[in-house]
Amino acid sequence: MASLSGFLRRAPPTRLKAFFDAHRVEVPDDFDWTSERRGKAFVQSIESLLSGLPDLQQDRLRAELDHLKTLADNDGMKGAEQVCAGQGIDLDGLQGNEDVLLMLAVDHPQIIDRVSAQTSLIRRTGGRNWAGFQFEDDGRSWALDDEAARDAFLQDAIEILKLPEHRKREADWYQSVRVHPVTGDETTITQATIYVEERAASELAFVSGTTVERQVVPKVLEVGLACDPQNRMIEICAKGGKRVRDQYAEAFTKRFAPGAPPPVEMPRREVLLDTLRRTPRFEIDPADGIEGVEVSSLEFFSTGGGTARFERRGDGETIYEFLGRRFGPHSPLQAHGWTIYAATLRIMRGASDGKRGKTLTVTLRAPNTTTLPNTTEADRHYALDLLERWHLIAPPPEDVDVTEDF
């Protein structure tokens, strides 16, 4: 996470000046915004500028800069790009994270909360407070634009959270655009951040004068929802454990996809397909009950925009041997400009406990999709453990707080 001094140093001078002007900060005419070195002395001059402000104004400005600073990394930039693309805000020509965030703070202040929520979702994807659900494609559209359904879902959230009816609530619905990191394909996502008034906290503070007093501080609880109707997937980011997120998925189905079969919770981890660029060595324990593992297909994406799929099963020759024999150094496994986009594994399990052996087929697709939701829960956990052991999926991310209760 960027430091505030680093954020100030990297911010374009004209954008930083516009930020202070927008907050009605009186800056001396001789203040040097374009200091070439922009080092310690420049940061100290900004600090002096802030320190000279009235207390309340100084606190507000520092708090906003601190918040923008938490978003000034790769996740924050990705969040800003996705939200801005969905809102038609052009970021072309801007000079990095700091430029984007300061521009939004001045020109589109309402967007910053969406960027913050989006960044939180990106950082938490696959983690402890996140769950993804896959729906069967029943051919029916989701009623995501139905205001009555949105209002009912918001009421469901209040009931799931077991909050009194009088608690304030608000849902911010908007669209974002995700760009596939390999193919560049765009997917429009409908998102909602649900804000609910949580039980207030009692804290000590200097309310008036220099006397410490106890005051009631309102709290806001946030729940994030991302819907991908094209791929029939939803993501839910909320505290409360698996049971609570299952309830949100059930409420979503009831309000936006009535009559649809219950969705299946799916793992959402980054797939590490570069592991398969060379013949893999699958580590197998006797307790796994595995008789064999093979890579049965590989799909490639070319920098020129083309795709290629190769499938090879049995006949005593692996897909790697086939590609080497057929294409030699021109194989997409070796030639420049080809990226592995998807792969299918066949895991042959032997008979045990009176049950016949079976083959578990799993397809991995960049950046973070698998066919595990189409299997039984036992097979999902079994395959997930193997894929993590074989370094084909990334481990769950550590939970990172972006907004306090998101």
* 397, part of any domain: no
* 114, part of any domain: no
Looking at the fold, whether 89 and 162 belong to one and the same domain comes out as no
Looking at the fold, whether 256 and 133 belong to one and the same domain comes out as yes
**Ordered strands of the 186-208 beta sheet:** 169-179, 186-208, 211-228, 233-237, 130-134, 264-266
Hey, is 321 helix, strand or coil? Answer: helix
* 396, part of any domain: no
pLDDT score at 38: 65
Give the tokens for residue 81. Answer: 């790009």
pTM for the model stands at: 0.80
Query: Based on the structure, what is the number of domains in the chain?
Result: 3
d(CA 86, CA 190): 9
- Which stretches of 252-368 are assigned E, i.e. beta strand? 264-266, 290-302, 307-311, 338-349, 358-365
pLDDT score at 381: 85
d(CA 65, CA 59): 10
pLDDT score at 403: 40
pLDDT score at 236: 95
Looking at the fold, whether 244 and 282 belong to one and the same domain comes out as no
* 371, part of any domain: yes
List, in order, residues 6 or more apart from 74 with CB less than 8 Å away: none
* 61, part of any domain: yes
* 402, part of any domain: no
* 105, part of any domain: yes
Looking at the fold, whether 312 and 340 belong to one and the same domain comes out as yes
Task: Tell me the per-residue pLDDT of 238-281, one tens digit each, with 9 for 90 and over.
Answer: 988 889 999 999 999 999 999 999 999 887 788 999 999 999 99
Task: Tell me the per-residue pLDDT of 73-92, one tens digit each, with 9 for 90 and over.
Answer: 999 999 999 999 999 999 99
Q: Which residues of the chain have pLDDT under 50?
A: 1, 400-406
Find out whether 234 and 252 touch, Cβ atoms under 8 Å: yes
- Which stretches of 150-210 are assigned E, i.e. beta strand? 169-179, 186-208
Looking at the fold, whether 72 and 190 belong to one and the same domain comes out as no
pLDDT score at 209: 63
From 266, 289, 313, the end of a domain falls on 266
Helices (H), 309-376: 319-327
Looking at the fold, whether 221 and 338 belong to one and the same domain comes out as no
Q: How does 279-317 read in b/e, with b if 16+ C-beta sit within 10 Å? A: ebebebeeebbbeebbbbbbbbbeeeeeeeebebeeeee
pLDDT score at 1: 47
Looking at the fold, whether 241 and 318 belong to one and the same domain comes out as no
* 175, part of any domain: yes
Is residue 236 within a helix (H) or strand (E), and if so which, with residue range? strand 233-237
Q: What type of residue is 382?
A: Y
Looking at the fold, whether 262 and 277 belong to one and the same domain comes out as no
Residue 45 lies in domain: 4-109
List, in order, residues 6 or more apart from 348 with CB less than 8 Å away: 290, 291, 292, 293, 294, 357, 359
Looking at the fold, whether 89 and 164 belong to one and the same domain comes out as no
d(CA 316, CA 236): 45
Looking at the fold, whether 251 and 373 belong to one and the same domain comes out as no
Residue position matching structure tokens 């879902």? 153
Looking at the fold, whether 218 and 310 belong to one and the same domain comes out as no
pLDDT score at 207: 65
Closest CA to 391 of 345, 322, 323: 345
Q: Which residues pair with 80 in a beta bridge?
A: none
Hey, is 337 helix, strand or coil? Answer: coil
Q: Which residues pair with 212 in a beta bridge?
A: 206
Looking at the fold, whether 137 and 258 belong to one and the same domain comes out as yes
